Amino acid sequence: MKRVSIKDVAREAGVSATTVSYVLNRTPSETISSETTQRVLEAARKLNYVPNLNARSLSSRKSNLIGVLIPQTEPGKELMFSNPFYGELLSSIEYHARQNGYHLLLSGTQEDQDYVNIARNRGVDGIIIVGTYPGRNLEALKAIDAPIVLVDSYVKDTSFHTIGIEDREGARIATEYLIRMGHRDIAFISGSLREHGVNSKRYQGYCDALQAAGIPLDEQAIYSGTVDYEYGIEAAYEYMRRGQKQTAAFVTADVISMGLIKGALEQNLRIPEDVSIVSFDDVYLAQMSYPSLTTIHQNIPEKGAMAVQLILDAVQSGRKEHTECILPLRLIERDSVKRRGGDA
């Protein structure tokens, strides 16, 4: 089946390509007689015409394409594999983009040089970037004239829109809860603590809570690795090696918690009897876990919806002012925490 172009439709309808274009795009400034409109529509249907979006975007400079960049958390690992958070987020982004007539150009990246090129390459109308750190080659990004939304990033720059959560506060709430439940020796378990990264903020929140309760910070209570299931298991072993000092842990991601539980189990540690856990994200995994996870809930679908909305708004309005969204957080109590002693 040969590709049918706008010209074929024009010929079939006995009009010019221009007219076809007008009809199909409902160009408001142009007014086409309803009779012609009918003929064109008919011809298009008959020929089973589908406009070529590449050509359209080439001439109109609008692609209806949103670029989504999800970082490889671990080089070599494949994209969202290690953390369902990404899957859930992407899922939501895709859904809302589609509802608005946009398609998604998906890419993982090892190095952000790619970011820029992909975007400029394909002429995307907007870009959603998940979790970049400040200080990477943002200059190049800024040069792109499509709106850019940074999700979960602490890059502060008026060139970008941002969507995030109160990481520090969330961590504080989690840790404080543990304290309120009678724990004083509380581990902090997370992915890598890069400066200005999400985990660092959560670390600060953890410290805030300890400090407020007058509990000294113990270096030995800090576990930092990668954001995946495997590290959770490892952390459990490391916990044993370090002498099982803590009765509870604040873990910065549900996946890690899942691994932690597994590792604990392997060593006959009971959760929450021996170690209580509060974690972060409230990925759907959190409720599937056994015990189910007490965790800081964030609205992941909403995050995705919002990211798309910001792009759409920016595209439509053409405005440049940047928007900064902070989504609410709350603690969900499930079964991974045990009250301890009588000092509640």
What is the contact surface with its own copies in residues (CB under 8 A)? 1, 3, 48, 50-55, 57-58, 63, 68, 78-81, 84, 86-88, 90-92, 94-95, 98, 103-108, 116-118, 120-123, 143, 145, 229, 258-259, 261-262, 265, 284-285, 287-290, 301
Query: CB under 5 to 8 A by kind: which of its own copies, DNA, none does 288 bind?
Result: its own copies
Please tell me the number of Cα atoms within 13 Å of 171 on its side-chain side. Answer: 24
Distance CA 127, CA 141 (A): 10
- Indicate which of its own copies, DNA, none lies near residue 284 (CB less than 5 to 8 Å, by partner kind): its own copies
Of 1, 26, 28, 31, the one binding DNA (CB under 7 A) is 31
Q: CB nearer to DNA: give 3 or 241.
A: 3
Q: Are 331 and 167 in contact (CB under 8 A)?
A: no
Strand pairing report for 126-130 and 248-251: unpaired
**Axis crossing angle, helix 17-25 with helix 34-47, rounded to the nearest 10:** 90
- Residues 257-292: b if buried by 16+ CB within 10 A, e if exposed: bbbbbbbbeeeebebbeebbbbbbbbbebbeebebe
The residues, any chain, with a CB within 8 Å of residue 266's CB and separated by 6 or more, are 233, 236
Q: Does 244 bind DNA (CB under 7 A)?
A: no
User: Residue 34 Cβ, how far from DNA at the closest point, in Å?
Assistant: 7
Binding region for DNA (CB under 7 A) out of 44-52, 137-145, 305-313, 324-332: 44-52
Q: SS3 for 253?
A: coil
Residue 56 found at the interface with DNA (CB under 7 A): yes
Of DNA, its own copies, none, which one sits near residue 279, judging by CB under 5 to 8 A according to partner kind?
none
Look up residue 224 and give its two tokens.
Answer: 């930092």
121/267 with CB nearer DNA: 121
- Report if residue 65 touches DNA, rule: CB under 7 A: no
Please calculate the CA angle 8-11-13 and round it to the nearest 5 degrees.
Answer: 110
Q: How far is the CB of 113 from DNA (least distance, A)?
A: 18
Chain residues in the site for DNA (CB under 7 A): 3, 5-7, 14-19, 21-22, 24-25, 27, 30-33, 35-37, 49, 51-52, 55-56, 58-60
